[in-house]
Amino acid sequence: MSTSNPELAEAGSDKRGISDLRAEARNARAELASTFDAIEYKLDLSKQLRINRRRLTHALRQLGEDSPAALVGIALGAATVVGVIVWFGASAVTRNR
């Protein structure tokens, strides 16, 4: 025998409604936390520098494993650029004396 009791039907729909609301609240909290993390990342320059330094270090290590000659070439190129800058700076200082 199936009796239709409107009070029981409403109670069942309320439970589903509450669980839906709880799930929606969890999703909203997760989205809010994600937004706060993004804002913190944008405003925290030291954190950005730290993350970018780690990425660069990882990329250079990976390049060194994949192609050591390319890594040596990059290092020599960087040393050459620094040497030229120092040379021009030193020569400008000695000319102005």
| Tens digit of each residue's pLDDT, the chain (97 residues) | 445 555 545 545 556 788 899 999 999 999 999 999 999 888 999 988 999 999 999 999 999 899 999 999 999 999 999 999 999 999 999 988 7
Rounded Cα–Cα distance for residues 62 and 49 (Å): 20
Which residues are CB-contacts of 70 (< 8 A; sequence separation ≥ 6)? 63
Residue 64, judged by CB atoms within 10 A of its CB (0-12, 13-18, 19+), counts as middle
Q: How many helical (H) and strand (E) elements, i.e. helices and strands, does the chain have?
A: 3, 0
Global pTM exceeds 0.95: no
Among residues 50, 72, 76, the alpha carbon closest in space to that of 63 is found at: 72
Identify the pLDDT of residue 96. Answer: 82
Identify the pLDDT of residue 34. Answer: 95
